[in-house]
Amino acid sequence: MTPTHFLHSIFKPENFNAEELSLVLEQFDEVTYKKNDLLIQQDKKANYYFFIEEGFLRSYSIDTEGNDITTKFFCPGDILIDWHSYFLKKPSKESVQALTGGKCWRINFADFMKLFHIEAFREVGRTRLVQNYFELKNHTVSVIADEAKVRYLQLMEDKPDLIQNVPLKHIATYLGITDTSLSRIRKEIMQSDVL
C-alpha cells in the first residue's frame, strides 16, 4: 500500500484526477530546515511558497525603533507565502524564521504557473488566500478592539501548540504587548483555572 503523501492533506485526491495530482506533487520539493533558518528574507524576493509539514516558524519585521516584531506564526498544515513578493516580484518587507527544525514542501513561481490550468489547484489557492486574508484582518482588528488577554486566549485556541514551541517574547510582540504583560496574563489564566 502506498503511503499517504503529506500534500494529499492539502491537494485532496478526491478533487483531482490521477494525472493532475501526479503533476501537482511533481512540482513541489521537500525541504528540511533547522532552527533559526530563514525561509524568506526581508529586502529579497520570495521565490517560493511553502506548505509546512513539521515545525514552527514566524514572520517578523523590524520597526522604526529597531525592535523585532512578530507578524504571524506558521504551524504544521499552514501555507507560508509572501503574496506580494511571490506574485509581484517585489522585495519582501518581512523575514520568515524557523523557530524549530522542521520540514516543508516548496514550489517556485514557474512551476506554480504550470499548475494554474488545473481548476482544483486554483481552488486550493483561492481558499488559502481568503483564509489568510481573514486571519490577518481579524488580528488587525483584535489588536485595536480587544484586550490583550482576549487576544492571547484566541491565539491559544487557534494555534494551541505554540506555547510549547515558540519563545514567549515572540508571542508578546505578536500580541502587541510587553513580555511582562504576557507573564501577568498567563499567571491570571493559570490562577483562574485553579479556582
What does the pLDDT look like over 55-86, one tens digit per residue?
A: 999 999 999 999 999 999 999 999 999 989 99
In angstroms, rounded to a whole number, what is the distance separating the alpha carbons of residues 162 and 141?
Answer: 21
Residue 88 lies in a domain: yes
Concatenated DSSP letters for 46-103? Answer: --EEEEEEE--EEEEEE-TTS-EEEEEEE-TT-EE--HHHHHH-PBPSSEEEESS-EE
Q: Does position 161 have pLDDT exceeding 50, yes or no?
A: yes
Residue 172 lies in a domain: no
Q: Does position 24 have pLDDT exceeding 60, yes or no?
A: yes
Residue 97 lies in a domain: yes
In this predicted structure, which of 53-67, 85-99, 134-148 has the lowest mean pLDDT?
A: 134-148
Angle formed by the axes of helices 148-158 and 119-145, nearest 10°: 160
Q: Tell me the pTM.
A: 0.89
Which cell numbers in the block locate residue 56?
514552527
Residue 132 lies in a domain: no
- For residue 43, what pLDDT band results from cuts at 50, 70 and 90? very high
Q: What is the mean pLDDT of the chain?
A: 91
3-class state of residue 30 by DSSP: strand
Q: What is the pLDDT of residue 5?
A: 85
Residue 183 lies in a domain: no
Residue 180 lies in a domain: no
Q: Which domain does 95 fall in, by range?
A: 6-118
Taking CA atoms, 193 is separated from 18, 153, 185, 188, in Å, by 50, 13, 12, 9
Fill in the amino acid letter for 12: K
Q: What is the pLDDT of residue 2?
A: 41
Residue 93 lies in a domain: yes
Q: Is 61 in contact with 42 (CB distance < 8 Å)? A: yes
Q: What is the pLDDT of residue 4?
A: 63
DSSP run (H or E) holding 14: none
CA angle 17/21/22 to nearest 5° reads 115
Q: What is the pLDDT of residue 164?
A: 84
How many domains does one find in the chain? 1
Q: What is the pLDDT of residue 123?
A: 93
Write out pLDDT tens, residues 164-193.
899 999 999 999 999 999 999 999 988 876
Which 8-state DSSP code applies to residue 192?
Answer: H
3-class state of residue 1 by DSSP: coil
Domain at 112, CATH number? 2.60.120.10
Interacting residues of 51 by C-beta distance below 8 A, sequence separation 6+: 6, 7, 10, 28, 77, 78, 79, 80, 104, 105, 106
In angstroms, rounded to a whole number, what is the distance separating the alpha carbons of residues 81 and 46?
Answer: 8
- For residue 1, what pLDDT band results from cuts at 50, 70 and 90? very low
Q: What is the pLDDT of residue 194?
A: 54
Residue 53 lies in a domain: yes
